[in-house]
Amino acid sequence: MTRVVITGMDHEVLGERETKVLDAIVRNYILTASPTGSRFLAKQEGFECSAATLRNVMGDLEERGYISHPHKSAGRVPTDKGYRYYVDTLMSSLVLPREVRRQIREALRQANPTDLHMLMDVTSRALSRATDQLGVILSPPLRRGVFRHVDICETSPHRYVVNITMESGFVKAMSAELQTEIPRPRLHDACRTINERFYGLALEDMCRLGEEPFADMGSYEMGVLRLFIPSIRRMMEEDASSDRVITEGAVNILMKPEFANQVGAIVEIL
pLDDT for 7: 43
Tell whether 254 and 196 lie within a shared domain: no
Position 229 in a domain: yes
Tell whether 105 and 159 lie within a shared domain: no
Tell whether 114 and 229 lie within a shared domain: no
Tell whether 51 and 132 lie within a shared domain: no
Q: How far apart are CA 267 and CA 251, in angstroms?
A: 10
Handedness of CA 57, 59, 65, 70 (dihedral sign): positive
CATH number of the structural domain spanning residue 62: 1.10.10.10
Tell whether 40 and 76 lie within a shared domain: yes
pLDDT for 73: 65
Coil, helix or strand at residue 138: strand
| Identity at 244, one-letter amino acid code | R
Tell whether 165 and 220 lie within a shared domain: yes
Tell whether 75 and 86 lie within a shared domain: yes
Tell whether 83 and 106 lie within a shared domain: no
**DSSP run (H or E) holding 9:** strand 9-12
Q: How far apart are CA 88 and CA 81, in angstroms?
A: 11
pLDDT for 76: 92
Position 194 in a domain: yes
Tell whether 167 and 199 lie within a shared domain: yes
Tell whether 105 and 82 lie within a shared domain: no
In order along its 270 residues, the chain shows pLDDT tens digits of 333 333 445 567 888 999 999 999 999 998 888 899 998 898 887 888 888 999 999 999 999 999 998 776 678 999 999 999 999 888 877 788 888 888 888 888 888 776 777 888 888 888 888 888 888 888 778 888 899 999 999 999 889 999 999 998 888 899 998 888 888 888 999 999 989 989 999 998 988 886 677 778 888 888 888 888 899 999 888 888 777 788 888 777 777 766 666 655 655 555
Provide the domain limits for residue 110.
98-139+244-269
If one counts the domains in the chain, the total is: 3
Q: How far apart are CA 258 and CA 43, in angstroms?
A: 24
Position 7 in a domain: no
End-to-end CA distance of the chain: 41
Position 255 in a domain: yes
Tell whether 105 and 17 lie within a shared domain: no
Position 216 in a domain: yes
Position 8 in a domain: no
Tell whether 226 and 257 lie within a shared domain: no
Helix, strand, coil shares of the chain, percent, nearest 5, are 50, 20, 30
To the question of pTM greater than 0.75 for the whole model, the response is: no
CATH number of the structural domain spanning residue 176: 3.30.390.60
Position 5 in a domain: no
Position 198 in a domain: yes
Coil, helix or strand at residue 1: coil
